[in-house]
Structure 1
Amino acid sequence: MRDHYKGYRLPKSVIGFAVRYYYRSKISLRDLSEMLQDRGLSVTYETIRNWCQTWGPVYARDIRQKRGSAFKDKWHIDEVRVKIKGEAFWLWRLVDSTGEEIEILLQRRRNAKSAIRFLKKALKRIGQPPRVMVTDKLKSYNKAHRVLLRTSEHRSHKRSNNRAENSHQPTREKERQMRGFKTPGYAQRFLSSMGAFLNLLKVKRYSVSAKEYRQKLKESLSIFHEIVVSHPQSI
């Protein structure tokens, strides 16, 4: 099997390494360029940006296909304010009870119509409603629950949605590192891909033993490596 994607001068493994680190870690394009230079590879940060924009969504799609949709049946939903070029947007995020991201959607509004649109998108991906839906006190969720999730229990007690609220932290960290998102479309594409990378690669090291952590990380990296090397030569 060829070790290069068609039209690229560097091996698949190098492209996969750069894309993985950019989506998984709080690292800049210039830092990645220096890391590769330290390994004897001269790559500009603009080239790495192109790799990430081209291959990030492709790898993310393959990660989702490999892992399937076996999420827990307890959903935590929350929304966070994101400013893009001075304009306010709302990033809606849905995670399961283990913190795995199921769906995100960047929208201009924080009303019932937006909540329904977001949950429809999530249901289309999962294919079935949750057993429990946990939200904050936003009243828009009440209507969305009545319209789409009548069979699910709806909980909105104080502090019961810390799981979803904590899931926004990587977005905030990456937003600061990137000095803000440039357009709503780019933010949606990037954050959606980042969620897939984190689901696979962010092993919860503090909830398992060191031996189990190393084994889980090894398995996750093996899955990602398989995706990188087995992908078609061009897209």
Structure 2
Amino acid sequence: MNPFHGRHFQGEIILWAVRWYCKYGISYRELQEMLSEPGVNVNHTTIYRWVQRYAPEIEKRLRWYWRNPTHLGTWHIDETYVKVNGRWFYLYRAVDQRGFTIDFYLSSRRNTKSAYCFLGKILNNVKKWQIPQVINTDKAPTYGGALSRLKREGKCPPDLEHRQVKYKNNVIECDHGKLKRIIRATLGFKSMKTAYATIKGIEVMRALRKGQASSFYYGQPQGEVYLVNRVFGL
């Protein structure tokens, strides 16, 4: 089925707008102005609806391409704050030693249950040989409790080492900063649903920018555009 059926614009234009919004940290009105220069006249509210509909779909269709964590070295796990309707929510994130994104999870709470859900999501979506020997987190006790439960349930290797060395998480804290520069342009989110939809698009575009799927478009002059369009059959 054509994912763009019933839309008044071509799929390439819609994906172009969604990619730019999620990649460059610009407002919907700024993107409306930028698109008007090459003759694409679209209202900023329409672009918003495109992002809500297609950003999660881009992340879903590209997930197999960009998620390729290495089992060597350490995974770094941490959370950062995201404002949703005036409240602070918690964006759990994980990167490997290269700084490549492994996964992310938005939660309204920062507790052992949320850490358990996030770590369980990661472990459920990777191959056994991709699980590292070491996971590094901050000093929050929630991660230790979550990992202990996962080990008891047989969902996590019993010999997986959990370290809590703050300075060794500089790699993910630096990545948080780059991500939040893009998120700040949104001027906040109205609901958890709209926040998560947008963040999925931002995270996948960050992953592509890091080169996490570059092996699938090697030699293509506009590889990122090529890959996104290809997974939508364009």
TM range (shorter): 0.7 to 0.9
How do residues 69-84 of structure 1 correspond to structure 2 at under 5 angstroms? 69-73=67-71, 74-84=74-84
Q: Quick one: structure 1 residues 5 and 192, their matched pair in 2 at CA, closer, same or farther if it must change by over 3 Å?
A: closer
Match of 2:153 in 1: none
Unaligned 5+ runs, structure 2? 151-155, 213-217
Match of 1:55 in 2: 54
Q: Quick one: structure 1 residues 191 and 79, their matched pair in 2 at CA, closer, same or farther if it must change by over 3 Å?
A: same
**TM-score of the superposition, structure 2-length normalised?**
0.82
Q: Quick one: structure 1 residues 95 and 220, their matched pair in 2 at CA, closer, same or farther if it must change by over 3 Å?
A: same
Asked if residue 161 in structure 1 is aligned to residue 169 in structure 2, the reply is: yes
Alignment deviations for residues 93-119 of structure 1 (CA, whole Å, 9 cap, x no partner):
111222222222222332222211211
Q: Could you tell me which amino acid in structure 2 is paired with residue 31 of structure 1?
A: E
How do residues 86-97 of structure 1 correspond to structure 2 at under 5 angstroms? 86-97=86-97
CA distance in 2, matches of 1:218, 1:131: 36
Native 8 Å contact 2:27 2:185 kept in 1: yes
Match of 2:124 in 1: 124
Alignment deviations for residues 9-68 of structure 1 (CA, whole Å, 9 cap, x no partner):
322221121111011111111111111211112111111111111111112211113x16
2:200 to 192, 199, 218: 192
CA distance in 2, matches of 1:26, 1:108: 23
Greater alpha carbon shift after TM alignment, 67-76 vs 14-23: 67-76
Please report how far the alpha carbon of residue 120 of structure 1 lies from its aligned counterpart in structure 2 after TM superposition: 0.8
How do residues 1-235 of structure 1 correspond to structure 2 at under 5 angstroms? 5-65=4-64, 67=65, 69-73=67-71, 74-128=74-128, 129-148=131-150, 149=156, 150-203=158-211, 218-228=222-232, 230=233
Q: Could you tell me which amino acid in structure 1 is paired with residue 26 of structure 2?
A: I
Unaligned 5+ runs, structure 1? 205-213
Native 8 Å contact 2:25 2:183 kept in 1: no
Root-mean-square deviation (CA), in Å? Answer: 2.5
